[in-house]
Amino acid sequence: MQKVTTELKVGLFVIVAVILLAYMTFRIGELTFGKEKGYLIYGLFDSVAGLDIKSPVKLAGVEIGSIESITLEDTRAKVAMKIRPDIRIKKGVVAAIKSESLLGEKYLELIPGKEAGVLREGDIIYKTLSVADMDSLITQLSDVAGDIKSISGFFKETFGKPETQNSVNEIIRNLRNLTESLYTITERDSGAIDKIIKNLGDLIGQIKDVAEENKGPFKNVLSNLEKISGELTEIAQENRRPLRDTMANLQELSGDLRERAPRLLNKVDRIVDRIEKGEGTVGKLMKEEGLYDKLDSTLTGIDKYVTATERFKLNVGFRGEYLFNEVDTKGYFSLKLQPREDKYYLFEVIDDPRGRVKVTDTEVATTPGTTVKTHEIRRDEKLKVSALFARKFGDIIIRGGLMESTFGFGADYYIKGEQLRASIDAWNFNGDPDAKNPHLKVTANYTVFKSLFINAGVDDFINSKMSSTFAGAGLSFDDEDLKYILTRLPISLP
């Protein structure tokens, strides 16, 4: 039998080693013979730095293919992905480049889409996410570190000073004291705070109810205001030409004065010279002290009289109040005389749709010894008169006197300066046959602008038969307004 030589043993060993090496290479590297099965899809990326051919393609963390090729299309990278034939990818998918770890290799992750249909051979994914490379991240981190360093330097420089530290400590102590005070107030007065919040809620609800109930009248009032504004605009447009003529006349007058000014100044100089020499009446007055004292006392008396007259103010007003229960309007004509700021006299004529109540008791003899009594109640004489004296005490005004043809009194409270006022009035304390209780009225009055005001309230609210809510508006003119109106009236003298 022939012996196996050493050369043969070495040859067999080399052949076995080569076969083993080839097997392990194809096994570990997952290499296959022939063309790999699957279909190609593509993705367009701004950057594929770190991504190589044969890098894995994953879906939900599971490898489903590999990178077939990477080419350049215009200015973007076009990546070809070989996907296993059994994998179906829905349209709308997003392709993102990710890393296995901070320094690990890159791979392509497909984030599933929700659109109908699946990707086919040759389809392109346009929704892609590129991973930032390490250099750009380091640059950005360097910029962030620089910013943080500058901020920390600023805080160190600012808060490192003793006076700044003392100020910060003082602010912290004040905040601590403030929070403790607020906590103490809240704990001590929690019931009162809850009551205030509840009252505010009730008040808002009542205001909302009143606004809902009187929505129609409010709209009517606004409509009337709009009409008044339109009429005022028409008046201004109609008198535009007279205003222009007045301005032209003033301009001519100023020109005449400019021309005559030198002559007037010369005359004034001559008059002053005569006065200084003691000539004429004025000169004698200046030279004779006794006559001057008499004249001074006389002028002082005249000045006091004129000052008192100028202080005396006159106000004329008209207003109408629509009574919702009566479906009619109550009208007022007012005349207010005010000699001083703290008191005035008020005279009013009232047209009341409810009139005045008259009761007539009669006895009629029907047969000898027999009488029949009749009791008749009727309302007539709609016009009523008020004459009141009023005195002001701070924001409160007390009124009293004849009120709607009977004794009465009332009070006004100014809530917001002269613009918002609340009033209560009481009169007719003997009552009427239809209303046994006195007549009480509550009113809220709001001044829209100088001469126009609106009001609302409840009239005769303690007598259920006669009670009625109302809303109205009115006009009020003082001395200056009346002067302006009277000078504009087309009055022709004979």
Encode pLDDT of 314-345 as tens digits: 888 889 898 888 888 888 989 888 888 888 99
44 and 125 assigned to the same domain: yes
d(CA 289, CA 360): 76
Most confident of 25-39, 87-101, 234-248, 349-363: 87-101
9 and 74 assigned to the same domain: no
477 and 328 assigned to the same domain: yes
pLDDT for the residue numbered 493: 42
Q: Which residue has the tokens 């102590």?
A: 173
Q: Residue 51: inside a domain, yes or no?
A: yes
Better pLDDT: 443 or 436: 443
Residue 485 main-chain phi, psi, to 5 deg: -65, -45
Contact 445, 420 (CB under 8 A): yes
d(CA 154, CA 164): 13
Q: Which of 188, 205, 229 is the last residue of a domain?
A: 188
Q: What is the pTM of this model?
A: 0.37
Q: Mean pLDDT, the chain, as a whole number?
A: 78
pLDDT for the residue numbered 26: 64
pLDDT at 490 over 90: no
400 and 479 assigned to the same domain: yes
Residue 272 main-chain phi, psi, to 5 deg: -65, -40
Better pLDDT: 17 or 134: 17
Residue range 274-304, pLDDT digits in tens: 777 766 666 665 666 665 566 566 667 656 6
161 and 89 assigned to the same domain: no
Share of the chain above pLDDT 70, in %: 77
What pairs with residue 81 in β-bridges?
41, 67
Pairing of strands 56-59, 106-111: parallel
CA distances from 452 to 227, 233, 240, 248, 477 (A): 13, 15, 23, 32, 9
d(CA 483, CA 335): 16
Residue range 342-396, pLDDT digits in tens: 889 999 988 888 776 555 555 655 666 566 666 555 555 568 889 999 999 988 9
Contact 336, 330 (CB under 8 A): no
Cβ-Cβ contacts under 8 Å for 421 (sequence gap 6 or more): 412, 413, 414, 415, 444, 445, 446
The range of the structural domain enclosing residue 332 comes to 312-488
Task: Give DSSP secondary structure letters for 150-198.
Answer: HHHHHHHHHHTSHHHHHHHHHHHHHHHHHHHHHHHHHHHSHHHHHHHHH
Residue range 54-76, pLDDT digits in tens: 888 988 888 888 888 888 888 88
What pairs with residue 373 in β-bridges?
363
| Lowest mean pLDDT, pick from 115-124, 208-217, 366-375, 480-489 | 366-375
Most confident of 378-382, 432-436, 476-480: 476-480
Question: Residue ranges of the alpha helices (H) in 278-397?
Answer: 280-287, 289-311
450 and 341 assigned to the same domain: yes
Residue range 207-263, pLDDT digits in tens: 878 778 777 777 777 778 788 877 777 776 777 777 677 777 777 777 777 777 777
94 and 157 assigned to the same domain: no
How many domains does the chain fold into?
4
Residue 363 main-chain phi, psi, to 5 deg: -120, 125
Q: Residue 442: inside a domain, yes or no?
A: yes
